[in-house]
Amino acid sequence: MIYTEIKLTVPSSFGETACAIASMLDIGGLYLEDYSDMLDCEIVKNVGIIDEELLKKDTQTAVLHIYLPEHVTIPAAVEFLRERFSAEGIEFRCDIGSVDEKDYAESWKQYYKPLHIGKKVVIVPQWEHYDKKDGELVVTLDPGMAFGTGSHETTSLCVETLQETVKKGDRVLDVGCGSGILSITSLVLGADSVTAFDIDPNAVKVTRENAALNVFSGVLDAETANIIENRKPVEGKKYNVIVANIVADIIIRLCSFIGENLAENGVFIASGIITERREDVMAAFAANGFHVVSEKEKRGWLCFCLER
């Protein structure tokens, strides 16, 4: 199969918004090429080593690569993107090309390298060799085209918070599992079981495949479900840790019922929230009996750890 590749160059600050808009299309996959935070990488900060070619990269812009299968009408897709980007005030440059299926499946892998998050977790792409050091916990990941590699602020904040929260024997609920990175991290940290839901069947498939790449003693149950619209999959069930790395509006809706699923002394980790929505989610937390245990911020994104 030949895929059409649309490359959208946008200001780095709008990279994730552009991803969210593009994901509304009937896409084969997408990835964001963004070097704006490479100097914040723990290895760079602690060791000071960075490839000279990377230093030449433009840190002010990001390139969103969108892959569309043959049945998609390209002009209509481009017009949709143009309208939505204009509504959000996003300036962009659009380049259109094509790529065959093999190149499509491999081209984005060059942008992912082992990533240290927090005190002990290292996210390692399946195709990269990594020599594990004493005390480190390795999460092996092949994200495919599902969201979640650990490089985005919301994901790294969640991984950091999970390291501070998950205990051996815990039952964990992952709402919106994406690539499975948070589910697998929880299991590697010692969780007894993880229930993972996503509305995207491809994300559930990728989560299961990634779980098979890792070694842990717990059990993963990943299913396609939208518990916002249908709460039956979680009715009557209790979890020690509930993690949702989504967006503010979904977090607000979750708050209305997810507290019922927290075990005694359980915690709710909520991320994917831009700083501009802080007061909105804080109001939802208070209205539903949650109090903030910790709040973390990274490059305009927030992650809360909550109890009820």
Question: C-alpha angle 55/181/21, rounded to 5°?
Answer: 70
What gap in Å lies between CA 223 and CA 99, rounded to an integer? 32
The span from the first CA to the last CA of the chain, in angstroms, equals 51
CB 188 within 8 A of CB 216: yes
What is the pLDDT averaged over residues 84-113? Answer: 76
Domains of the chain as residue ranges with CATH: 2-110 (3.30.70.120), 150-307 (3.40.50.150)
* pLDDT number for residue 45: 39
- Of 67-81, 179-193, 209-223, the least confident: 67-81
Determine how many CB atoms are found less than 10 A away from the CB of residue 204. Answer: 21
Antiparallel, parallel or unpaired: β 193-198 and 239-245: unpaired
pLDDT tier at 145, thresholds 50, 70, 90: very low
Tens digit of each residue's pLDDT (9 = 90 or more) over 160-177: 999 999 999 999 999 999
What is residue 298's DSSP assignment?
Answer: E
Give the predicted TM-score (pTM) of the model: 0.70
With vertex at residue 129, the alpha carbon angle to CA 127 and CA 134, rounded to the nearest 5 degrees, is: 135
Rounded to whole angstroms, the Cα distance separating 21 from 9 reads 14
pLDDT tens, 19-72?
Answer: 888 877 777 777 788 776 544 444 433 433 344 454 455 678 888 888 888 888
**pLDDT score for 110:** 64
